[in-house]
Amino acid sequence: MKKIFFLTLFLFTVAFFSQSAKAQTEAQRVELCTKLAGGATFQSDYPVQLEAAKDGERAPVFRQALALVKGNRYRFTICTDEESPGEAVLKLYDEGKMMGSSYNPETGKEYQNFDFDCNKTAIYVIFISVKDGKEGSAVALLSHVKTL
């Protein structure tokens, strides 16, 4: 009976601490990514975990609508987790038109962040995907740089 009690207590302890460790890990990821935003004022974070694309299917994409206000410069930062098999890409769209991206497919160059000067108050959409349809995890940040 004692063995069952201690085994149950052990399992609950492991489950409890593994959940709190994961929460700390996500908070640490956001904190590290915030430092890479370069002094901009943090507004929102978007942690993402995407599965690999299956054969013949499109790669999974995270979509999030957000309101941006005219007359402000915003910074979008993407931080791919170190253990992630694939590199995350962040794109900003307005009414189907790409306004900015962390990856330039023509040159193959990746950017940690990009700034966006908002010329109209509207609902914009960010898309986060992983290059080549690989599995991946990342954190994207929206920060305010300055009022124009």
Summarised one tens digit per residue, pLDDT across range 94-116 is: 999 999 999 998 999 999 999 99
Tally of residues, the chain: 148
Domain count within the chain: 1
* Other CB atoms within 10 A of residue 130 CB: 26
Residue-level pLDDT at 2: 54
Residues 6+ apart with CB under 8 A from 98: 91, 92
Residue-level pLDDT at 32: 81
Residue-level pLDDT at 1: 53
Task: Check: CB of residue 34 under 8 Å from CB of residue 141.
Answer: yes
* Other CB atoms within 10 A of residue 87 CB: 17
Q: Closest Cα to residue 136, out of 76, 63, 44, 62?
A: 62
Q: Which amino acid is at 59?
A: A
For residue 51, the enclosing domain spans: 2-147
Residue-level pLDDT at 146: 95
* Other CB atoms within 10 A of residue 115 CB: 14
Read off the pLDDT of residues 52-83 as tens digits, 9 standing for 90 and up: 998 888 899 999 999 999 999 999 999 999 88
Q: What is the CATH number of the domain that holds 89?
A: 2.60.120.380
Decide which of 24 and 27 is more confident: 27
Q: Which amino acid is at 24?
A: Q
Q: Is the pLDDT of residue 15 over 60?
A: no
Q: Which amino acid is at 22?
A: K
Cα–Cα–Cα angle for 84, 86, 90, rounded to 5 degrees: 105
Mean of the per-residue pLDDT values of the chain:
85
Q: Is the pLDDT of residue 39 over 60?
A: yes
Taken in order 140, 126, 50, 12, is the CA torsion positive or negative?
positive
pTM of the model: 0.79
